[in-house]
Structure 1
């Protein structure tokens, strides 16, 4: 029994996310994995209201239940656990890429379905990753596709909170 307890503790320690040595920030992505933003994004179709379905637990973005409104050049984030909205200024900074004017990590569109109903967004440094949808109960096939893309780009989906297909 003692061996089993020690083995479990060692396993949990190995799974723990440690801060990036350069930034001190917890990362949710294997930075050795390739990553790319979507080459074609119709920003007019990206505008509007989104609901975070799943996400990494850190930061203001990736908390399930958050709502976001993309109204370029603004991203308005509302959290159910905090009153008031947070306004973030963003700028299109390449194909499928938004930079935050405040200098925080760039936001990349990693995948969006053809109907612009479900989107996977992340940061190259792995500090954020999340799935948003126009509907609080997205279609399972789109959610599965978004999760597969995030996993392909090295995101640790076991760290995400949300629906967890």
Structure 2
């Protein structure tokens, strides 16, 4: 019951800048495909969020990082850190991800029990320096990079991948580092 109240409260607090809990950023009638040749070992490590679709839990966040590690039970550990504009840590959330298919993960955070979200890696460049992540329901999407600065050609390719998978690029926001 507490989780339901929390989710309803989040939806009610959402603004245009933060996105609504149930906002959809892609045409869900459009096909979406995860990366067919996905190497989870190469995906491990820290990623910097360079662009995202607005979601309430990241409202006001800058300098966001996501770090993935391999656990003894075969699941991936997930640690997301959100920062304030001055660089101080605003929030962190940890959880796990289960690989359920090529480029397809189910992510669960301890503070949000009973919810396993789709997290699809739609694309990475050959060297796993840049990644595009989305979800079939279109409620989230990110462009991630191994460093805070991203080369213009990889950013454009990442944007093209989002658009190809039905995402509305006009709602994509760049994230300050």
In the alignment, what sits opposite 1:87? 94
Work out whether 1:115 is the aligned partner of 2:127.
yes
Q: Which secondary structure does the structure 2 equivalent of 1:126 belong to?
A: coil
Shift of 1:157: 1.3
More strand per residue: 2
Contact kept, 8 Å, 1:28 with 1:156, in 2: the verdict is yes
Q: TM-score, normalised by structure 2?
A: 0.74
Contact kept, 8 Å, 1:59 with 1:128, in 2: the verdict is no
Contact kept, 8 Å, 1:51 with 1:132, in 2: the verdict is yes
Shift of 1:103: 2.3
Work out whether 1:142 is the aligned partner of 2:154.
yes
- What count of residue pairs does the alignment treat as equivalent? 143
Shift of 1:59: 4.3
Question: 1:150/1:64 Cα in 2 relative to 1: closer, same or farther (>3 Å)?
Answer: farther
Shift of 1:77: 0.2
Larger radius of gyration: 1
Of 44, 48, 67, which residue of structure 1 is paired with 2:45? 48
Unmatched runs of 5 consecutive residues or more in structure 2? 1-15, 71-75, 109-113
Q: What CA RMSD, in Å, does the superposition of the two structures yield over aligned residues?
A: 2.3
In the alignment, what sits opposite 1:160? 172
Q: TM-score, normalised by structure 1?
A: 0.79
In the alignment, what sits opposite 1:4? none
In the alignment, what sits opposite 1:3? none
Q: Matched residues in 2 for 1:131 and 1:43: separation?
A: 17
Shift of 1:64: 5.1
Contact kept, 8 Å, 2:83 with 2:91, in 1: the verdict is no
Shift of 1:57: 1.1
Question: 1:61/1:68 Cα in 2 relative to 1: closer, same or farther (>3 Å)?
Answer: farther
Question: 1:88/1:125 Cα in 2 relative to 1: closer, same or farther (>3 Å)?
Answer: same
Unmatched runs of 5 consecutive residues or more in structure 1? 1-15
In the alignment, what sits opposite 2:106? 99
